[in-house]
Structure 1
């Protein structure tokens, strides 16, 4: 009797263990990563599950492989728009901060715009539009970050170029008032106070309630006092400032002064500083 009971117990244990192991694997969907069968490589549900599993684990590079694999094989599948959206979202998730490489954001914009083109009117269209705007918000902040970095390093011309780019590409973004104020500061540091005043006037007119509006008014007052002192000095001086050139607004940007061309738009005397022409034709 004892022997028979042991025999029954021993015979049932492996089955129970196998059943428990199978249940554990099935509960976590880990079976989609096991084996290398044709079904697992081509079945749309399996491919999508792998992509979602990688995405949930924040392994976005691996998720991209699966989502792209899904689209390569199943472009007309009902989940194809979703896979295309997840490609853009994966690139977006790979962006770390505003002081890092903007390439993931550019790839996200490209992927999401392609998704909207390939699957017009899909249920993910509104989400794609929102993500694209978030990407542009990040890129605008990156331009501001880089411009402020150049400004702190006293590379005022390079800083002005970044701030000007923000005003041309992202005039409606939250960083626009800061960019306009720092653009005026950069011109002031370069000695181009007339251009600085033009930007401060635009700041007061277009962003009167921004957090830098008061700083802009203070700088404008400072420029006004300096201009008055300059006029008095010029009246008492026998030698006029003959190298000065009048400011001509850029035809491509009527509301903002264009970044001066280093080779022809102004001389070193106009800026009140001595510059050295670099090999690339820019002022250093």
Structure 2
């Protein structure tokens, strides 16, 4: 004869099992926001928004994908897509934050070369903007910290991944940034010289030569040093700078002295 207590216990177990079965039926993988099916759907929607240029909506969806799929390849891809979405939405700070997070969390990722390339691209901004164009501003006249950050990222890419599909473009951009930064230093040196701050002008021109010795702007940097030292009465330094200028730029317009210039009536 079965004990009544056992019967009641068995009945409770059956009832609990029934409730669990109902709960399982009511929470299918399709409705689970963390299920792979739901993540796939959410990511697909984010990619559609990204393609359509709906960057704000894409960013929100990608952030949810990244959080729910943490530690997976999908989360890594969502992070990289977030970079692109923020970059296209002109959210530079957010794009850099997403890149730094990706680089920190995925140091051995096969997409590391792309992450470094994008970090350079986000900082590399050759568009002067409407106000810059209206004012006739040259890129070399603006603050260059972003350009320096871009060059660091591109150089890191070139050193760590010399055979990357992004390496050649990175090298081209490094050359461009190098010339831009050198021109910027010379621009500042000229600014000081025109305001009779000859020590500051000489120091800034010397900095351009030290940091970017092969840039075209090195020619004018040397000339500014010659002129600044001459104004300061530092004849030895002036003559040294003049010799370096003649040695490295023998055809420079700065090398020809007034006595060597042709008379207006001479044809040869």
TM category, shorter: 0.5 to 0.7
Query: How do residues 57-206 of structure 1 correspond to structure 2 at under 5 angstroms?
Result: 57-93=89-125, 97-206=139-248
Say if 1:95 and 1:104, in contact at 8 Å, map to a contact too.
Answer: no
Counterpart of 1:218 in structure 2 is 258
RMSD of aligned alpha carbons: 3.2
- Name the stretch that deviates more: 94-103 or 201-210: 94-103
Say if 1:164 and 1:183, in contact at 8 Å, map to a contact too.
Answer: yes
Change (3 A) 1:36 1:84: closer
Give SS of 1:86's match. Answer: helix
Q: CA deviation at 1:164?
A: 2.1
Change (3 A) 1:191 1:71: closer
Q: CA deviation at 1:25?
A: 4.6
Q: How many Å separate the matches in 2 of 1:35 and 1:148? A: 50
Q: How many Å separate the matches in 2 of 1:111 and 1:53? A: 20
Change (3 A) 1:26 1:174: closer
Give SS of 1:154's match. Answer: coil
Say if 1:32 and 1:40, in contact at 8 Å, map to a contact too.
Answer: no
Q: CA deviation at 1:35?
A: 4.3
Partner of residue 32 from structure 1, selected from 49, 58, 64: 58
Q: TM-score, normalised by structure 1?
A: 0.58
Partner of residue 85 from structure 2, selected from 26, 50, 53: 53
Counterpart of 1:9 in structure 2 is none
Say if 1:92 and 1:105, in contact at 8 Å, map to a contact too.
Answer: yes
Q: In proportion to residue count, which structure has more helix?
A: 2
Q: How many Å separate the matches in 1 of 2:113 and 2:84? A: 14
Q: Deviations over 1:60-96 (max 9, x none)?
A: 2222122223333443333221011111221222896
Q: CA deviation at 1:117?
A: 4.4
Say if 1:98 and 1:139, in contact at 8 Å, map to a contact too.
Answer: yes
Paired residues in the alignment total: 198
Q: CA deviation at 1:113?
A: 3.1
Q: CA deviation at 1:148?
A: 0.8
Change (3 A) 1:103 1:95: farther
Change (3 A) 1:76 1:170: closer
Instruction: Extract unaligned runs of 5+ from structure 1.
Output: 1-21, 222-284
